[in-house]
């Protein structure tokens, strides 16, 4: 048997609010430990690391796609292990949601990506983390009324790293979204649209000098700054190796882009948080390219 492995993600990428996201090499793993051919169509998480209170998102997404498709499947027991920090802006919820959908595929057969993205989006409330967790790499999403959303895949440069600082304090997505205004001025809407398009082009063509401007935002980062330690300081960071900086998802993680002197940039970022007395974990992450991976774990069930 193989573990099902789903990547975490960094969403928004500055101005691409609820639209852009990239899968990263932090993973949630699901191991199927029992399958019962009873037609009950039930998934149970028998063990989770770290532990999750209440019904796990893996279970909820499995239930949701069963309801959506009407399929009768075996009952499945799974163990879940995640390296993706929760409530950190790194797509832990979306990864768990997609994992449940992947387990459903294991027992029901292959499913259409748009169907699965539609189920995930209904659960998450937005598709920007679910899309890269589902298909990998850099994605944008398009939602058309009355249809399931579509993920559009773009190229993320192999040598472009995300150095991500995650403060020890979590931030629930619901709380971060509640801080947002209900509307934005026309000028700010145009500002973000211009930069989101610039960012996609810059990433496709290696136009590194455009990235700092391309990840700027006027929609969500200012509204969340009071809840995100060091956000303003990192956004203002000036260093020759730093190509851009932005809030990772809803936060409180903050991401910096770099291609060169990556280790030095990681130390620089860690030192900024340490001087400010903010406990944080700093990770250098590569993009996860392609669909979720599977790992051999032995004979299993």
Please give the structure tokens belonging to residue 110. Answer: 């292959």
CATH 3.30.230.10 in the chain, residue ranges: 2-155+288-296
Instruction: Tell me what pLDDT residue 292 has.
Output: 63
Q: Token pair 């860690």 is at which residue?
A: 270
What residues contact 13, with CB distance under 8 A and at least 6 apart? 20, 21, 22, 199, 215, 246
pLDDT value at residue 129: 95
Q: How far apart are the first and last CA of the chain?
A: 6
- pLDDT at position 298, please? 43
For 161-285, which CATH superfamily applies? GHMP kinase, C-terminal domain (3.30.70.890)
Say what the pLDDT of residue 167 is.
96
CATH code of 2-155+288-296, in short, is 3.30.230.10
- Give the C-alpha separation, 94 to 125, whole Å: 10
Residues 199, 215 contacting (CB under 8 angstroms): yes
**What's the pLDDT score for residue 293?**
63
Mean pLDDT of successive 10-residue stretches along the chain, which has 301 residues: 90 96 97 95 94 88 96 96 95 96 95 96 93 97 93 96 93 80 92 97 97 97 92 96 96 96 97 96 95 52 34
Question: Residue 180's pLDDT is what?
Answer: 80
Question: Of the candidates 18, 2, 245, which has an alpha carbon nearest to the alpha carbon of residue 103?
Answer: 2
3-state secondary structure of 280: strand
Q: What residues does CATH 3.30.70.890 cover in the chain?
A: 161-285
Q: Which residue has the tokens 């009071």?
A: 226
């Amino acid at each position: 048997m193989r573990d099902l492995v789903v990547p975490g993600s960094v969403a928004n990428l500055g101005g691409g609010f609820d639209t852009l996201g990239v899968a990263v090499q932090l993973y949630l793993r699901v191991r199927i430990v029992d399958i019962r051919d009873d037609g009950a169509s039930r998934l149970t998480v028998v063990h989770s690391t770290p532990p999750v209170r209440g019904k796990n998102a893996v279970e909820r997404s499995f239930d949701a796609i069963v309801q959506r498709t009407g399929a009768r499947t075996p009952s499945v027991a799974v163990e879940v292990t995640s390296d993706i920090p929760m409530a950190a802006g790194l797509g832990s919820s979306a990864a768990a949601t997609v994992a449940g959908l992947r387990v459903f595929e294991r027992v029901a057969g292959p499913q259409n990506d748009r169907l699965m993205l539609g189920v995930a989006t209904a659960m998450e409330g937005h598709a920007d983390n679910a899309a890269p967790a589902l298909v990998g790499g850099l994605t944008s999403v398009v939602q058309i009324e009355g249809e399931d959303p579509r993920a559009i895949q773009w190229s993320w440069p192999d040598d472009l790293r995300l150095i991500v600082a995650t403060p020890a304090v979590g931030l629930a997505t619901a709380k971060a979204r509640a801080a947002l205004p209900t509307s934005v001025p026309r000028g700010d809407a145009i500002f973000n649209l211009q930069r989101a398009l610039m960012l996609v082009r810059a990433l496709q063509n290696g136009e590194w000098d455009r990235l700092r401007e391309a990840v700027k935002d006027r929609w969500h980062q200012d509204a969340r700054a009071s809840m995100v330690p060091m956000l303003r300081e990192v956004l203002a960071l000036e260093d020759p190796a730093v190509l851009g900086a932005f809030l990772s998802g809803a936060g409180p993680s903050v991401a910096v882009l770099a291609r060169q002197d990556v280790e030095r940039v990681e130390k620089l970022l860690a030192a900024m948080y340490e001087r400010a007395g903010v406990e944080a974990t700093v990770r250098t992450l590569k993009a996860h390219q392609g669909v979720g991976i599977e790992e051999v774990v032995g004979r299993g069930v």
